[in-house]
Structure 1
Amino acid sequence: MYLASLGKLALGSRLKALSDHFYGAADEVYQTLGARIESRWLPVLRYLWDTGPSSVTEVAAAIGQTHSAVSQLTDKLVRAGMVRRRRDPADGRRSVLVLTDKAHASLAELGPVWCAVRRGVSRSLEEHALRLLDAIEACERALQERPVAEAILVEHAVIKATPLQIVPYAPELREHFYRLNAQWLERYFRIEDIDRAVLNDPEHYILQPGGAIFFAQLGEEIIGTCALLQESPGVFELTKMGVDETFRGLGAGKRLLEACIAEFHRRDGQTLFLESNSRLNTALRMYEKAGFVLQPSVRPGSHYERADVYMIYKPR
C-alpha cells in the first residue's frame, strides 16, 4: 500500500481512508437491515439520545468535532426530520438541539444492530480492535496536551534553524552512503550489480582510485550524499547522488553538487560527466543550472541499464 510507505507523513490520509471504510461498512449494514439513519449521523444522534437537548457547541466539544462541522451536520439532520432546534428554556438567547419522535423511534430499533456491530468488529479485527481503541484513546489524550500542528511547527523551526554542513567521507558513514542511494534506486529503478558493488565498498571503488565522497549533515542526521569518481587521469564522473526524501527542499542536493564540482576543480580535472535518467526531472534541472550540458546520445560503454541521459560539465 503506497500510503503505508509514507509513514507518519500520510497519517491523516491513512486515518481518513480507515474512517471512510468503517463509515461505508456501517452504511451498508444500516441499509441492508432497513435502519433509518446514516453512519455519519450517529455521533450527534447518540449524544443527544444519551444526554438530552444540547447546544451545537456542547455537542461539538463532546464528540471532538468543530462547531462548523456539527452545525452543517445539524442542518442535514433537520432536513431529514431527525433533529429540531428550539430555544433553551433556561436561556432564551441560545438554541439547543432536540431529537424528534422520528429519531427516537429510529434509534430505539438499533439495539440489535449495534450489538451486531460490536461483535462484527471484534470478529473482523480480532485483538486488533482493542489495541486500536486503546491507541486512539492514547492519541486523543496526547493531542489534548499538545496539538500536533503546534508540534510540527516547532520541529520545522528547528530544522530551518539547523545549519547544513557538507562533510567528507568517514568509515562510520558508509552505511549512509548505501542507505541514501538505495532509497532512490529502489523507488525509481532497481539496484544493479554495479550499484551494489560500489555501495557496499565505496573505499575500493571510489576513494582508492582517487575519488571523493561527500555527505550533507543536518545536526546529527546524514541527509544526503554524492561522489566524485575518477575514471582516468583528469576524467571524473559525478555519481551516487542521493538525498533523503524527508529532507528535500533544504538545498542539500545543490550543496553536494557544488562540493563535488569544487573538488573537481581543486584536482585540476579536465572532464566531468554524469549519467542519469530522463525520469529524474528535478535532478536534471539542478545539473543544468550547475553547468552540465545534455549530450545528444547516451555515453558509449555506459555501465548502467537505466542510463538514458549523458551530460558533460561545461564551466561558464
Structure 2
Amino acid sequence: MELFKELGKVALGSKLRLFTEMFTNDAARIYSLYNIDMQPKWFPVFYVLSKGASKTITSIAKEIGHSHPSVSTIVGEMAKKGYVFEAKDTSDGRRNLIALTEAGAEITAKIQDQYADLNRAIEDISSQTTYDLWKAIEEWEYLLGQKNLLRRVEEQKKLRESGNVTIVAFKPEYYDAFRSLNVEWISEYFKMEEADYKALDNPQEYILDNGGHILVALYNGEPLGVCALIKLKDSKYDYELAKMAVSPKAQGKNIGYLLGTAAIEKARQLGAATLYLESNTKLKPAINLYNKLGFKKVAGNPTPYERADIQMLLELK
C-alpha cells in the first residue's frame, strides 16, 4: 500500500478497484454464509426482479445503470442456474419479459435475514468512521455526472499547456507562419479567395499600415497560432477579427481562446466599441469558440468571401 501513499489521489481508480474487489470477495462468502448460491454481480438484476414485476432487459439495464449487453449476459447466467426465465410479452410479441422462477423466488425469502444482518454490519462500520462514505459516493456521482473525470483532466491539461503560450505582436519574422497557417486551414475546408491573398500576401500594407494589428501565439517559442484585427473603413463596425489560425499540432492547448481574448483586449485598448467577424458554420469548433468569447450572430453585412455564411458581433462598450 506504500504505492498509494506515494501516488496519492492520482491512484484513485486503482485504489477504488482494490476496495471494490475486497467487498466483492466478501460478498461471495456472505452469500455462502446464508446458503445462497448467488454471484455478487447478479444481485442488481435479482433485486429488481425480486420486487415482483416482469421486466425487459432494456428496462432492467436502465433501472440499474448497466449496459444492455451486460444485463443480457447476467440474465443468461441466471437462467442457466434456474433463477430466471424468459417469455414473450402477451401484449407485445416483439418483446421478451424476464421474471424470477420458483427457485429465484425462494431466494427472495431466504435473503431477508442476510439483508438485515448486512445492513447492521455496515451501520456498525459507519458508526466508527469520521466521514459518511455513502453520501460521499453520491456527491462524487453527481459531480462526475455533471462533468466526467476525462473532461476535467482535459481542462487541466489545457490550463497547464496554456502556461507555455505567449501572445506577441507581429514581426516580419512571423510572416511565413501567418501565411502558412491560414493557407493550411482555408485550403483544407474551402478555397483561397481574392480577399485571402490580399491579407496574407501583403499583411503590412493590407492590415498593419491601415491601422490594424496581428497577434501571434508562441508555444514554447514556436509560432503556432495567429489572428488579425483589421481596421474597418466605410463600415458601422470598428474592427474585424480575422485570419485566426492554429496549427493542428497545437490544437487542444487553448491557443484559440488565448488569441481571441488577447485580440478582444487589444480592440478595447484601441477604443473600439464593436468587434466583427465572418466565418462558416461548417467550422463548429471555431463557432463554439466565438460563442464562448461572447460574439452574437448578426446579418445583412456585405462580405468579400464566398465561404462566409455567418456573421458575428461583439459589443465592447
Instruction: Give the structure-2-normalised TM-score.
Output: 0.47
Instruction: Give the structure-1-normalised TM-score.
Output: 0.47
